[in-house]
With several copies, the nearest count.
Chain A
Amino acid sequence: MIARRDLAVRVAVRTDLSPTCFRIVVATPEPFAAVPGQFAMVACGEGLDPLLRRAYSIAGVARDGERTLVELMVKEVGRGSSRLRRLAPGAELKLLAPLGNGFTLTAAGGARLALVAGGIGLPPVLFAAERLAAAGAPFDLFLGAATAAELLDVERAAAAAAACGGELVLATDDGSRGEAGFVTAALARRLDEGRRYERALACGPNPMLRALARLARERSLAAELSLEEPMGCGVGVCLGCVVELADGRLVPSCKEGPVFEASRLAARWSA
């Protein structure tokens, strides 16, 4: 594993993925590697506004000649993300990464993984899918969003799933594309049909993660959830991001997470 560093990077590409979401690829001459599920703390804009960095999951890492490209996918929501959106290629950025623990990508020989993403929860899940595809490990990929326009990067997701014969399941709350309803319901239907998974790996909004944790408990499915608590530092020193575990401990999700085994979390996560 590569040590975390505070990298000064430059924007290589900034493209829109949807009316509200966009991709930022930054380039660094430094060696860099990350595990899907790890994240970066990004200084969004010069000066003091916003004051704190924002956490973004790493969506991919690629070598490009002398430099390493690191990909992020961001939804424009507030101060930080709107600053990022306005960056042009060449703009400088500080990025502390890789942080956190990441998903468990190994599976017992031949066993299948279920990768589940909701909305802007896609980046770590897509990163995991592409890593698994490259390794020839089987998985199904479940992508959910409120509406068709918010299903991001579907072609890349399809290619990753296809690489090892996995299914790409799309679901939208409004039924405008793929199956209608929540993506966790789509997963439940597969389980009902008898499909078996070694483990589910998921990232998305809290209600989705809760639904998945419930499903996992009911069906005795192992599940790893990537949580997004508000973060102050991303490195375990502010204690602003703690998550309650089943044993009552409050642990910093930036350090012990952001990925947690669903069964380790306090009961309210699967209540």
Chain B
Amino acid sequence: MSVRLETAVGALRLANPVMAASGTFGYGLDLADLCPPERLGAVVSKGLSPRPRPGNPMPRIVETAAGMINAIGLQNIGVEAFCREALPELRSRAAVVAVNVFGAALEEYLEVIARCEREDGIAAYELNVSCPNVSAGGIEFGHDPALLEALTARCRAATRRPLWVKLSPNAPDLVATARAAVAGGADALTLVNTVRALAIDAAARRPVLANGIGGLSGPAIKPIALRMVWEVHRALPEVPLVGIGGVETGRDAAEFLLAGASAVQVGTAIFREPAAPLRIIAELECFCAAHGVADVRELIGGLQWR
């Protein structure tokens, strides 16, 4: 049985529903030998700020049960270097590129978008309003619906490209946050970012990470992420969603699609296995074939509530 894997996130058509997540695939080319970006539905860049950022002190990552906590602190090369160093090759490979945008203030988001608007080959913007690592940073936008709506509206006005807002699982009211992003003009919502978490070095009596708190990702959070995708899908069935959180297998991807996502992103799994997104695409295809799904879009939102 041949399976159609094409999907779309709003108006953006993707060859398959599996993307590499922001912060886990570098600038799209770092793993090109093991996982060619052009074979993925899309690649999302590491969060880009107007200028390079050094990030947090070490240690920045720690493993937990079926998960990891990171507090990278949004280290990145800056939007300028991305546009000059990575984008040309991504373009020539015809990879679908979403730029993950991060700013310490509203103006910084606009700066990043403005710089990217001068470039071809960017398929969408994904606003990171949910990174829990930088206290002066994005976290406030993602936790305050009014602020988030204003941010989204300003970014919306700055581009005609698809605009995704990446939601925080730590927001006091997820659905209210989702509505605010949509009200501000988001074309789609990505959910979820990492869950605020703490690891303690008991012998040293200190947090393991230099930053103290970090963000939990990986299979541990999958059941939470799935629940959130479903909650937002149920509240806003017309809004395209991108599901993320602990996707490790094609079956996981199918679960997110069923919960209402139009596509998924793969993060931590890439650290375990750089070619994980390719394997997941293949497994998703097998899953569809085995279950009589001729078109992967049949799965989207197909969960039958009991």
Contacts and interface: CB of A to CB of B under 8 A. Distances in A.
Interface stretch (A47-55, A100-108, A170-178, A196-204): A47-55
B242 interface: no
B266 to A, nearest CB: 12
Interface string A199-240: 000000000000000000000000000000110110111111
Given A43-B272, A51-B68, A237 B61 contact: no
B31 A235 contact: yes
Contact of A250 (B31, B55, B65, B268): B55
Interface in A72-107: 94, 96
Contact of B271 (A52, A229, A249): A52
A59 to B, nearest CB: 23
Interface in A1-38: 3-6
B58 interface: yes
Given A51-B272, A242-B58, A236 B68 contact: no
Contacts of A4: 33-34
Given A6-B274, A51-B272, A230 B75 contact: no
Interface in B4-40: 23-26, 30-31, 33-34
Interface string A229-267: 110110111111010000011100000000000000000
B60 interface: yes
Contacts of A232: 61, 68, 70, 271
B30 A237 contact: yes
Contacts of B54: 248-250
The interface size bin for chain B is 20 to 34
Nearest to A229: B58
Contacts of A43: 272-273
B72 A240 contact: yes
A239 B63 contact: no
A229 B26 CA distance: 19
A79 to B, nearest CB: 8
B31 A237 contact: yes
Nearest to A255: B30
Contacts of A249: 54
Contacts of B75: 239, 242, 250
A242 to B, nearest CB: 6
Contacts of B61: 230, 232, 238, 240
B34 to A, nearest CB: 7
Nearest to B64: A51
A238 B33 contact: no
A250 B210 CA distance: 15
A232 B69 CA distance: 10
Nearest to B219: A48
B105 interface: no
What are the nearest 6 A-B pairs in CB distance? Answer: A240-B61, A233-B271, A237-B26, A48-B66, A232-B61, A232-B271
9 contacts: A48-B248, A51-B218, A94-B273, A230-B61, A232-B271, A239-B23, A240-B59, A242-B60, A250-B75
Given A230-B62, A235-B31, A239-B55, 19 more contacts: A48-B66, A51-B63, A51-B66, A51-B218, A232-B68, A232-B70, A233-B270, A235-B274, A237-B25, A237-B271, A237-B274, A238-B24, A238-B61, A239-B60, A240-B59, A240-B61, A240-B70, A242-B55, A249-B54
Interface of A: 3-6, 43, 48-53, 94, 96, 229-230, 232-233, 235-240, 242, 248-250
Interface of B: 23-26, 30-31, 33-34, 54-55, 58-68, 70, 72, 75, 218-219, 248, 268, 270-275
